[in-house]
Structure 1
C-alpha cells in the first residue's frame, strides 16, 4: 500500500467510523421512538373501540356514569393499568385501576381539567418503571378531528419489563445494522476512490509532464540562440530552488520560481542575432534593445496558463535591491521574492561558469563579489540563507555538464511538483 492509498484508507475509515458513531445513536433513538409510538397508537385505537362498544361517549347523569365505569373497567384490564373517563366539561365520570397501576399512581404528575383537542402522550419514568400516559379527546367519529369533543379518556400503561427489553433489543439491532452499513459502505468506496484518484493522478501527471516539456522546449529554443545559456537554465533553476527551500518556500510559489528561473531569458528569442551573439561589449543602443528581452519575455509567458507563474521572475530578474535595476527600477521588497532569489542564483552561476568570453572564477572571488553587492543588488535575507549552502553548491556544480544539470533540476521538479 503506497502512502496515498494509506492516507485514503485512513480518511475513509475515519469518515465511516464518524458516520457510524453519529448515525447509530440516531437510528437507535428513532427506532425506540417508533416502537413507543406504535404502542401508544395501538392503545388509543383499542380504548376508542372499547369506548364506542360500551356506548360511553357523550353521556351524562347516572346512565353515563354507569357506562363509563363499565368501559373503564374493561379498558384497565387490557392495555392500560389506569383508565379515566371524563365528560365534555372535564368532569371525571369513571376511573378504574389495576394493582400495577396503583404502584405508580401517586407518583404521576397531576393536571387540571382536560381541555386538549388532539391525542397525545407522555413517556415518563416512575420508580424505575417505564410509564406511558395517553390523553385522548372523544368524538362520535374518531377519524374526524374537527367534530365536537364529547368527552375525554386518559390512560396509563406501565410497560412490562419484557416489552421494554424487546424495544431496547430491537433498537440496538437497528443501530448495529446502521453502523455496519456505514462501515461496509466505506469499505466499498475505498477501491472506487483509489481507482478514480489513481486515474486523476495519472492524468494530472500527463498534464504536468506536458507543461514541463513545454518549459524545456522553450529553454532549448533559447539555448539554440544564445551561447551563454544551455546548462545555465538548468543550473540556475536548481540553485534558486535550493535557496527557496532554505527560505521555506513550497507549493505553487516554488513551482513558479522554478519555471521562472528556467525561462528567465525567454524574451531573448526576440533579440536580433547581431546583438544577441555579439562577442564584444554592446553599445548603448544595442544595450537598450537587449534590455527589451524582459518585456518580450513577459509577453511570452503571460496568458500561457501554467506558465503565468513564471511572470514574477521573468519580469523582475534584472531589478536590484537598491532600485538601480531595470526595467521598472523597483527596489527592496517591491521586487517579488522569487526574483530576489533568482538574482543571487543567476549571478552566482554566471560568475562560476565558463563562458565564451570568460573563464570561471574561484569560489572565494565569486562570494566576495556577492557580499560586496549585498544591500545594493541582492537582498540581505536571501544572501544570509545562500551563504550556508554556497560552498556545497559550488562543489556540486563544478564540471557539471548539461545532462547532469538537467538531472539535478529534475529531482527538484519531482519533489516540488509532487510527481
Structure 2
C-alpha cells in the first residue's frame, strides 16, 4: 500500500468513525425520544378516553368535582402514579396518587396554575436515578376535537418501570448500532472509489508533469544548441541550485521556481542574432548591449507560461550581483530574488569547474577561492555559507558526470519537488 492509500485509508477511517459516532448518538437520541413520545401518546389517549368515560371533560357543572375524583381514582395505578384534574380556571378539582407517587412527588418541579392550550410532556431524571414522565393535557368537551373550547386540564405522572426503560434502551441501542455500521460501511464503499479516482488523477498529473518536463527540456536544448553548448550546463546548474535550495529549506512553489528558472536562465538567448551570440571574439559595446537584452527577452518568454511563470525570478535577475553592480536593473542585496541569488553561486561554480571549448576546468580549490573572493560582491554571504558545506560533495558527484547522468540527477530532483 503506497503512501497515498495509507493516508486515504486513515482519513476515510477517521471520518467514518466520526460519522458513525455522530450518527449513533443522533440515532440513540431520536430513538429514545421517539419511544418516549409513543409512550406519552398512548398515555394521553388513554387518559382522554377514561376522562370522557367518567364525564370528566366538562368540568364546569355542579357535578364536575365528583366526576373528576372518579376519573382520577380510576386513572391512577395503571398508566399513572399521580393524576391531577383542574377546572378551566386552573383550580385543582381532584388528585389521586399511588404509594410510589407519594415518594416521588416532593422531587418533582413545581408549577403554577395550568394555562396551556397544547398537550406536552416532560422527561425527568430524578435525584434517586428513577425516570419519570409527566404529561399535560388540555381538555375539551369533544373527545375527537382537541382544538375546541377548553373545559379543564389533566396532568399525569408515570414512574417508568425498569423493564420499559430497558426496552427503550435496547431499541435505541439497536438504532444506534445500525446507524454506526451504516456509516462504517459507507466508508468501506467510498475507499476504493477514492483510490480509483486518485490513481486516475495521479496518472493524469504525471502525464502533465512529463509534458512540462519535455517542454522545459526542449527549451533548454534549444538554448544550448544556439549557444554552442552540449546542454549539460543547464542540467548541472539547475541541480546544484536545487541542492542549495534544499539546504536553505526551500520547498513547494519556491523550489519549483528555482529549478525551472535555473534550467531556463538563458532562454532569452533564443532572440539574440547568431552573429553576436556565436561571435568568437570580444563583443563591441553595441553588441554587448544587444547581448544583455537576452535577460528581458527571456523574462517575456517565461512570463505568463503557467507553471513556468515562477522561472521569471531567476531569468530576470540571474545577472544581478549582491553589491548592485549587475544588470539589467542594478538590484542589490535582498532586493534580488532569493532564487536568483542561489543561482548566481551555482552558475559560476559550474562554469568554472566545467570544460569549455575555450578553457580547461578549474580545480575545486581554484574555483572555491574565486567564489570566496567574490562573496559580498557578486554572491550573498548567507548563500555562500550554505554552499560551502555542500561544495565538495557536489563537485565530487559532477566531476565525472556527462550530460546523460546530469540529466538523470535533475529529473529525479524535478519529480521529487514537482510531484509532491
Work out whether 1:351 is the aligned partner of 2:355. no
> Residue in 2 aligned with 1:67?
67
In the TM superposition, 1:363-402 aligns within 5 A as 363-402=364-403
> Residue in 1 aligned with 2:161?
160
> Residue in 1 aligned with 2:215?
214
Report the Cα offset of residue 61 of structure 1: 5.2
> Residue in 2 aligned with 1:173?
174
Q: Which stretch shows the higher mean deviation, 140-149 or 405-414?
A: 140-149
Matched residues in 2 for 1:294 and 1:229: separation?
21
Q: Could you list the runs of 4 or more consecutive aligned residues of structure 1 that deviate by over 4 angstroms after TM superposition?
A: 142-146
> Residue in 2 aligned with 1:2?
2
Q: Which stretch shows the higher mean deviation, 6-15 or 108-117?
A: 108-117
Matched residues in 2 for 1:160 and 1:359: separation?
100
Q: Which stretch shows the higher mean deviation, 14-23 or 140-149?
A: 140-149
Work out whether 1:307 is the aligned partner of 2:285. no
**Secondary structure at 1:155's aligned position in 2?**
strand
Work out whether 1:362 is the aligned partner of 2:354. no
Q: Which stretch shows the higher mean deviation, 240-249 or 43-52?
A: 43-52
In the TM superposition, 1:326-345 aligns within 5 A as 326-345=327-346
* Deviation readout 1:50-78 (Å, 9 max, x if unpaired): 22222212234541112112211222243
Matched residues in 1 for 2:162 and 2:406: separation?
82
Report the Cα offset of residue 351 of structure 1: 0.8
Change in Cα spacing, 1:397 to 1:128, as seen in structure 2 (3 Å) is closer
**Secondary structure at 2:85's aligned position in 1?**
strand
Matched residues in 2 for 1:144 and 1:280: separation?
111
**Secondary structure at 1:319's aligned position in 2?**
coil
Change in Cα spacing, 1:146 to 1:209, as seen in structure 2 (3 Å) is same
Contact 2:242-2:255 within 8 A present in 1 as well: yes
Contact 1:58-1:88 within 8 A present in 2 as well: no
**Secondary structure at 1:83's aligned position in 2?**
strand
**Secondary structure at 1:150's aligned position in 2?**
strand
Alignment: residue pair count: 419
* Deviation readout 1:241-275 (Å, 9 max, x if unpaired): 01101101111111111111110000101101111
> Residue in 2 aligned with 1:325?
326
Work out whether 1:252 is the aligned partner of 2:253. yes
Matched residues in 1 for 2:198 and 2:171: separation?
40
Give the CA RMSD over aligned residues.
1.5
Contact 1:133-1:154 within 8 A present in 2 as well: yes
> Residue in 1 aligned with 2:91?
91
Report the Cα offset of residue 389 of structure 1: 0.9
**Secondary structure at 2:356's aligned position in 1?**
coil
Work out whether 1:408 is the aligned partner of 2:409. yes
Q: Flag structure 1 segments of 5+ consecutive residues without an equivalent.
A: none
Q: What TM-score, normalized by structure 1, do the two folds share?
A: 0.96
Work out whether 1:24 is the aligned partner of 2:14. no
Matched residues in 2 for 1:110 and 1:14: separation?
46
Matched residues in 1 for 2:251 and 2:393: separation?
22
In the TM superposition, 1:96-245 aligns within 5 A as 96-126=96-126, 127-141=128-142, 146-228=147-229, 230-245=231-246
**Secondary structure at 1:330's aligned position in 2?**
coil
Matched residues in 1 for 2:398 and 2:130: separation?
85
Change in Cα spacing, 1:143 to 1:387, as seen in structure 2 (3 Å) is farther
Matched residues in 1 for 2:278 and 2:357: separation?
11
Report the Cα offset of residue 113 of structure 1: 2.1
**Secondary structure at 1:57's aligned position in 2?**
coil
Change in Cα spacing, 1:229 to 1:297, as seen in structure 2 (3 Å) is farther
**Secondary structure at 2:150's aligned position in 1?**
coil
* Deviation readout 1:322-374 (Å, 9 max, x if unpaired): 11111111111111100000000001111111111111111111111111111
Q: Which stretch shows the higher mean deviation, 136-145 or 309-318?
A: 136-145
Q: Which stretch shows the higher mean deviation, 3-12 or 93-102?
A: 93-102
Contact 1:81-1:157 within 8 A present in 2 as well: yes
Q: What TM-score, normalized by structure 2, do the two folds share?
A: 0.96
Q: Which stretch shows the higher mean deviation, 261-270 or 81-90?
A: 81-90
Matched residues in 2 for 1:55 and 1:294: separation?
103
Q: Flag structure 2 segments of 5+ consecutive residues without an equivalent.
A: none
Q: Which stretch shows the higher mean deviation, 266-275 or 123-132?
A: 123-132
Report the Cα offset of residue 229 of structure 1: 5.4
Matched residues in 1 for 2:230 and 2:345: separation?
17
Report the Cα offset of residue 377 of structure 1: 0.6
Report the Cα offset of residue 109 of structure 1: 2.6
